Amino acid sequence: MIRLFTALSMPWDVVETLKRRQTGLPGARWRPEEALHVTLAFYGEVTETQADDLAAELARIPSGRFDIELKGVGAFGDDHRSTTLWAGVEANERLNVLAGRCKAAAERAGIRMEKRTYRPHLTLAYLKTQTNPDRIAAWIAGHNLLHSPAIPIDRFGLYSSTVSDDGSFYQLEREYPL
């Protein structure tokens, strides 16, 4: 079984800007440079046959370059406890269409997808359970004016993910030009 997802990688200048914000919050496990991406679709564990079928379906997605912008920061969590810090992505119809096409490609490849609303974001950190909520709120307030210039998107990738005690390791398996 292979754990797969599709994502947009970020150019080095955007990554450098984000890395400068990854500080000042005890309990945050900041994501490394190579892990900073915008997920399009998470497929989970799939067979090698499904992975091959998915790769072929993704290659059929119609082309078309577009731009995205990062805007604001926030946190996801449950039961009044934040678990993830993220940078937001400005609403973008072309991005939503691409994410929908990645999901449809999975369905054509026989991969069942979770029924989840697409919320584009870039994960900056995972938070330890004891991270102080007031410190999280202060970090968000201090960085919430994030607004990147337009980021040109001319490709997306199919990535594998290996989970370890030190976090997830991502490997680009295939790249698809737009």
Q: Report the pLDDT value the prediction gives residue 22, as an integer from 0 to 100.
A: 97
Report pLDDT for 84.
95
**In whole angstroms, what is the distance from residue 122 CA to residue 125 CA?**
9
Q: DSSP secondary structure string, 23-67?
A: -S-TTEEEPPGGG-EEEEEEEEEE-HHHHHHHHHHHHTSPP--EE
With beta carbons less than 8 A apart as the criterion, state whether 121 and 42 touch: no
Beta bridge partners of 169: 162
Domain boundaries, the chain: 2-177
d(CA 63, CA 137): 40
* Catalytic-residue membership of 121: yes
Q: Which one from 37, 80, 143, 147 is the annotated catalytic residue?
A: 37
**What is the pLDDT, as a whole number, of residue 78?**
74
Query: What does the block give as tokens for 96?
Result: 């939503």
Q: How much is the pLDDT for 168?
A: 84
What pLDDT score does 79 carry?
66
Assigned fold of 2-177: Cyclic Phosphodiesterase; Chain: A, (3.90.1140)
> Could you say which of 80, 121, 143, 147 is catalytic?
121
Residues of the chain with pLDDT under 70: 79
What tens digit of pLDDT does each residue of 103-118 get?
999 999 999 998 889 9
Q: Does 37 participate in catalysis according to the annotation?
A: yes
pLDDT at 98: 98
What does pLDDT average to over the chain?
A: 95
